[in-house]
Chains A and B, each alone.
Chain A
Amino acid sequence: MADPASTDLPLIRLRDISRVYGMGEAEVRALDGINLDIEKGEFVAIMGPSGSGKSTAMNVLGCLDVPTSGQYHFNGVEVAHLTQDQRALLRRHYLGFIFQGYNLLPRTSALQNVELPLIYKGLGRAERHAAATEALAKVGLAHRASHDPSELSGGQQQRVAIARALAGNPQVILADEPTGNLDTKLSAEIMEVLQKLNEEDGLTIIMVTHEADMAEFAHRLIWMVDGRIERDGRTSRAA
């Protein structure tokens, strides 16, 4: 990975990114020439009707998927042509994921779930334990460390998932509808946690949501339609 200081590019730069599924008649342009810069420390919400390409954009940003064409610079490194294993390394060291369905490992304690990315980072047992405990404390779940996901409420599970994303000490957190399964009150709690991480720790957060209330927690709102960015502006909170 290149040294971030060696470049004056933004943290994330997408240039003319397209993602096309299928061929010929059945061709679907999930992303159609996206241009986007995200600076370090931003809190970006992506919204749009279903099928507008939000999820595909998240997958490309999260290096889970590769664009069909265009350039994606992450930290000054061209990502679009990396191999699967190279992208895995990038995710391991720079990205944290939060999913709508929490995606915690069942029958595995909260602490072990949070430790999971640290195992792949090659941390020793003691370091892992310390980092995971700290991450759990940050989301206010230190006292639930030994609980299984099944023993936790939805909001708590999502907070464990946030702790897991945090534990690896990433530069960017990608949240795909993090409050989709939660009621308004719990949703607000989760958003407050994310907001705090953004404001206090300077974490860059990119979030897909379909709830305008949640998008209001971000500073910048990107509105997508048919695989294109239709609007890109500041939220009322930022203003």
Chain B
Amino acid sequence: MLWETVKLAVQAIFRNALRSFLTVLGIVIGVGAVIAMVTVGQGSTEQVTADVEKLGTNMLMVMPGQDAMEGGPVGTAVQLFSIRMNDLLEEELGVIEVSAPLSMGRARVVFGNENRRTDMVGTDNRYFSAAQWEVERGRLFDVTELQSGKPVCVIGETVRKDLFGTSDPIGEEIRIQTLSCEVIGLLKSKGASTFGSDQDDFVIMPIRTFQRRIAGNTDVSLFIVSVRDGVDTERAKTEIEAVMRDLRRIGRGEEDDFTVMDMKQLATMLSGITGILTGLLSAVAAVSLLVGGIGIMNIMLVSVTERTREIGIRLAIGAQAWQVLLQFLVEAIILSLFGGLIGIVVGLGMGLLGANMLSIPFRPDPQIVLLAFAFSAAVGVVFGFFPARRAARLNPIDALRRE
């Protein structure tokens, strides 16, 4: 009997294929959205974690100015860093593996007919080890290049692709403002960062070259510090703060005029945000499931009205009320399960697409898929019950008389 009922329901659904599809669209969108959200959310959380690993959980950034997130005077003239300060810091602290000074700016780089606006970084070889960059082709800077500030540069993969296409960049001269600069190395691509920016979109040159020829000053924007293995970053952070206060002659009771940022903290905070966002968006998507359920109820009510005569016939030939109820309930459940199934496929598809577009791993969660499926069945039961009961309560005589 149940199997007959299921078959009957499927027949009824396919008899009105287009209407059935439109009916379940709400469920499709709801389930699809929830699954896509959760899939992308989990992928990006995993990506954040992986990025932090890649970044080195032992990396700290020291920047002039106060932590923007904690508030404090804005726009106050901040004394910038210097190369000397970086070297002193590195020398002073045993917990530091390496510390690299960075000067940064943006400029247009030109090669032949191609040009690109990109990040310019002036630093030395310590940066490559602190930020864990590997050379794809060519080499890093040599001592004379660094000391005398020669016009040489190492480029990121994005810059290479844009300027050189298929040709070999090593040994070519690119022009940065008025400076003609020889490409000596190409870095291995890291792809998009946790923050979504392209990490490979930059040109690196010796810090002296950058300061003299591009920036025209001796400012250093930040230090990238890598902490020795096995050293707690919290401890390193405290020590760095102490030494920096000393180096910058900050008196007791005065606030820091610099910030030490822990990548691990940042990552935790970031994945927290990802989690909240995923939750919020999923909640919005869940609302559309509710709307979808109401859509099903609506169409089932229409269906009961339309098929009043059929119900009359069934009752007349001996169907009991519960059998009619079951028929319409099963139909509603199957309808919403169809919607759920399509939604799962659509959601996973969207999740895959999203994961590809954001270059994050595709992480479907079987639990959520199962939950979405169960939920769509529940929607069918809840929203199908009222129309089904109305059908079951029909009086066969009236039902048969209805046109």
1/0 per position for A47-66, CB-CB distance to B under 8 A?
Answer: 00000000000010010110
Contacting residues of chain A (147-166) with chain B, CB-CB under 8 angstroms: 164
Instruction: Determine whether B357 belongs to the interface, using a CB cutoff of 8 Å to chain A.
Output: no
Instruction: Determine whether B310 belongs to the interface, using a CB cutoff of 8 Å to chain A.
Output: yes
Chain B residues touching A, range: 20 to 34
Task: Judge whether A89 and B397 touch: CB under 8 Å.
Answer: no
Known: A99-B400, A105-B310, A122-B1. A85 touches B317 (CB 8 A): no
Which residue in chain A gives the minimum CB-CB distance to B12? A107
Which residue in chain A gives the minimum CB-CB distance to B11? A108
**Contact residues of A with B, CB < 8 Å?**
59, 62, 64-65, 84-85, 88-89, 91-93, 95-97, 99, 103-105, 107, 116-117, 119-122, 164, 168
With A and B bound together, what is the CA distance between A103 and B314 in angstroms? 10
New A-B pairs, 14, CB < 8 Å, besides A91-B316, A96-B317:
A59-B397, A62-B316, A64-B397, A88-B318, A92-B317, A92-B319, A95-B318, A97-B317, A103-B309, A103-B312, A103-B316, A116-B313, A117-B318, A121-B318
Contacts of B313 in A (CB 8 A): 103-105, 116
**Contact residues of B with A, CB < 8 Å?**
1, 4, 15, 309-310, 312-323, 396-397, 400
Task: Judge whether A85 and B320 touch: CB under 8 Å.
Answer: yes
Task: Judge whether A120 and B319 touch: CB under 8 Å.
Answer: yes
| Most chain A CB inside 10 Å of its own CB: which residue of B312, B318, B319 | B318
Minimum C-beta distance from A125 to chain B (A): 9
Q: 13 A-B residue contacts at CB 8 Å?
A: A84-B321, A85-B320, A85-B322, A88-B319, A89-B318, A91-B318, A93-B318, A96-B317, A99-B400, A103-B316, A117-B317, A120-B319, A168-B317
Task: Judge whether B315 and A88 touch: CB under 8 Å.
Answer: yes
Which residue in chain A gives the minimum CB-CB distance to B8? A119
Known: A85-B320, A119-B4, A122-B1. A107 touches B315 (CB 8 A): no
Task: Judge whether A120 and B317 touch: CB under 8 Å.
Answer: yes
With A and B bound together, what is the CA distance between A48 and B227 in angstroms? 105
Task: Judge whether B319 and A103 touch: CB under 8 Å.
Answer: no
